[in-house]
């Protein structure tokens, strides 16, 4: 897996065991996608008890986006071509200034691609800075 992906995972608190699961999914996605995977993002949120919940794993190439839904416990993958075009997006933020995330920062991005394909991206704490990118 790419070094920048590992740094990202470490920065959002992914454990070694969970990183191994992500690496397995990454290898599957590499087999399914003919283009080099150049981006990664994990949707996450903070539960009522204050614990962090990792939800969906996304990989991106120049031509595709791949989602592993509920990736910790499930093998449920979507792959869709992206045509460098987003038809619509909406963003909701909480305690985030788009400069530097804090413990209380939250960000939610909903994107609509071509052909009725949509994606939802949630981010908490420092992960907001990665979603912004």
Q: What is the chain's pLDDT, residue by residue, as a tens digit (133 residues)? A: 999 999 999 999 999 999 999 999 999 999 888 889 999 999 999 999 999 999 999 999 988 889 999 999 999 998 888 776 777 889 999 999 999 999 999 999 988 876 667 788 888 899 888 888 7
Asked if residues 113 and 85 have their Cβ atoms less than 8 Å apart, the reply is yes
pLDDT for 115 equals 64
**Domains of the chain, earliest start first:** 3-132 (2.30.29.30)
CB within 8 A of 63, min separation 6: which ones? 35, 81, 82
Cα 37 to Cα 4: distance, rounded to the nearest angstrom: 12
pLDDT for res 36: 94
Burial class (CB in 10 A: 0-12, 13-18, 19+), 40: buried
pLDDT at 96: 94
**Per-residue confidence (pLDDT) for residue 37, from 0 to 100:** 96
Q: Which alpha helices (DSSP H) does 2-47 contain, by range? A: 3-11, 16-32
Task: Give the whole-angstrom CA distance, residue 40 versus residue 58.
Answer: 6
Nearest of 21, 27, 28 to residue 42 by alpha carbon:
21
């Amino acid at each position: 897996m790419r070094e920048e992906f590992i740094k990202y995972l470490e920065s959002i608190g992914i454990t070694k065991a969970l990183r191994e699961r992500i690496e397995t999914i990454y290898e599957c996605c590499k087999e399914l996608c003919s283009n080099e995977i150049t981006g990664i993002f994990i949707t996450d949120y903070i539960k009522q008890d204050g614990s962090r919940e990792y939800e969906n794993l996304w990989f991106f190439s120049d031509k595709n986006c791949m989602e592993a839904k509920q990736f910790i416990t499930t093998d449920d993958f979507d792959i869709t071509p992206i045509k460098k075009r987003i038809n619509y997006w909406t963003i909701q933020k909480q305690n985030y200034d788009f400069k530097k995330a804090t413990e209380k920062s939250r960000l939610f991005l909903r994107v609509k691609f071509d052909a009725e394909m949509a994606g939802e991206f949630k981010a908490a704490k420092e992960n907001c800075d990665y979603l912004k990118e």
